[in-house]
Amino acid sequence: MPPYMDPYTRSADHLDLLSAGLWQHMAPHVSAALAGIGENDATIVELGSGTGLGTCVIARTAPMARIVAVEPSSHLRAVLLHRVASDNDLRSRVTVENRPFPSSRLPEKFDALVMINSLGHLDYAERAQLWRVIAAGLRPGGCAVINLQAPTTSSAVPEFEMARERVGDREYHGSARAERVDEHTMIWHMTYRTSEEGHEIDAAEVEYRWNVLDAGTLESELAQHNLHANAAGDEQFGVFAIESDARRR
Ligand SMILES: C[S@@+](CC[C@H](N)C(=O)[O-])C[C@H]1O[C@@H](n2cnc3c(N)ncnc32)[C@H](O)[C@@H]1O
């Protein structure tokens, strides 16, 4: 397996803090898409768990489910593992897997797979592998929950502030801009700043490639694997529940 190049090394200290607000808005959509999953002892795979904000939402929505939380960044995984290990309920049923998809050690069969704010890290071939894993692994009645982040077509995005939070005397800010590389790919440039009394005391710049996908392309890629997607919740969040075509019959 080639060494994993972690684009979150420099942003990991900001990420949990600055993503919490977003997850307050995202949580109801993910929960609604997972409704009915995990009433018994279901298995749920989460790809790209980050610091575990979504893992907690999955665990609350499916209180009997066992969860495999995949997080390849050791910096983010440290926060995830701390969150899981410090809660007796999470500790008893969340397994943390370190290898990136598609090398991750996943259960062969699962009742749901969740990948939020992370799909763009997979290129076309890895995405095809993901659809194959979902088509082969999803138990009857199960679904995969993903989101398509805007912009869903490749384009430049001028700098904007994503979030700002105060902790003690310091303020933590995250801003982002993007450049278009080609029809399928963008590069996101993120800046994470720390300031005190208006003075910047630290700034970290990170960048990563992002593979864009729109709803039409998603639908046609899924069709090749006998899968289909339904928009779940508020369109602005781009959440989709993916099911097997067999469920339609
Ligand atoms: C923007 S973060 C989102 C984290 C979390 N889902 C959230 O919404 O707070 C993207 C995540 O995808 C993870 N990731 C990147 N490539 C991956 C891969 N090939 N397999 C699994 N996770 C991956 C990153 O390490 C990071 O945790």
Query: Which residue's C-alpha comes closest to atom 5 of ligand 1?
Result: 50
Q: How far is residue 39's CA from residue 43's CA, in Å, rounded to a whole number?
A: 11
Query: Which residue's C-alpha comes closest to atom 13 of ligand 1?
Result: 48
- Supply the pLDDT for residue 3: 81
CA 197 to ligand 1 centroid distance, Å = 33
Domain limits, CATH 2.20.25, in the chain: 157-211
CA 198 to ligand 1 centroid distance, Å = 31
Closest by Cα among 242, 249, 185, 248 to 218: 242
Name the 3-class secondary structure at 123. coil
Query: Yes or no: is domain 157-211 CATH 3.90.105?
Result: no
- Are 71 and 12 within 8 A, CB to CB? no
Burial of 181 (0-12, 13-18, 19+ CB in 10 A): middle
Sign of the four-CA dihedral 83, 86, 89, 90:
positive
- Supply the pLDDT for residue 249: 46
- Supply the pLDDT for residue 217: 97
Q: Give, in degrees to the nearest 5, the angle at Cα 24 between 21 and 30.
A: 135
Measured from the Cα of 15, ligand 1's closest atom is 9
- Out of 26, 113, 118, mutate this one to test ligand 1's pocket (max ligand atoms within 8 Å of CB): namely 118
- Supply the pLDDT for residue 237: 85
Q: How far is residue 236's CA from residue 238's CA, in Å, rounded to a whole number?
A: 6
Query: Which residue's C-alpha comes closest to atom 15 of ligand 1?
Result: 121
Per-residue pLDDT of the chain (249 residues; tens, 9 = 90+): 778 899 999 999 999 999 999 999 999 999 999 998 877 789 999 999 999 999 999 999 999 999 999 999 999 999 999 999 999 999 999 999 999 999 999 999 999 999 999 999 999 999 999 999 999 999 999 999 999 999 999 999 999 999 999 999 999 999 999 999 999 999 999 999 999 999 999 999 999 999 999 999 999 999 999 999 999 987 778 999 999 997 654
CA 83 to chain centre: 17
CA 28 to ligand 1 centroid distance, Å = 20
Q: Among the CATH numbers 3.10.20.30, 3.30.565.10, 3.40.190.10, 3.40.50.150, which is that of 12-149+213-248? A: 3.40.50.150
Q: What is the DSSP letter of 154?
A: -
Q: How far is residue 153's CA from residue 214's CA, in Å, rounded to a whole number?
A: 6
Q: Cβ neighbours of residue 201 under 8 Å, at least 6 residues apart? A: 170, 194, 195
- Supply the pLDDT for residue 248: 59
- Supply the pLDDT for residue 38: 72
- Supply the pLDDT for residue 247: 61
Q: What is the DSSP letter of 150?
A: S
- Supply the pLDDT for residue 53: 98
Query: Which residue's C-alpha comes closest to atom 8 of ligand 1?
Result: 117
CA 71 to ligand 1 centroid distance, Å = 6
Domain limits, CATH 3.40.50.150, in the chain: 12-149+213-248
Q: Which residues does a 6 A CB cutoff place in the pocket of ligand 1? A: 8, 19, 47-50, 53-54, 70-73, 76, 100-101, 116-118, 121
Query: Which residue's C-alpha comes closest to atom 27 of ligand 1?
Result: 50
CA 144 to ligand 1 centroid distance, Å = 16
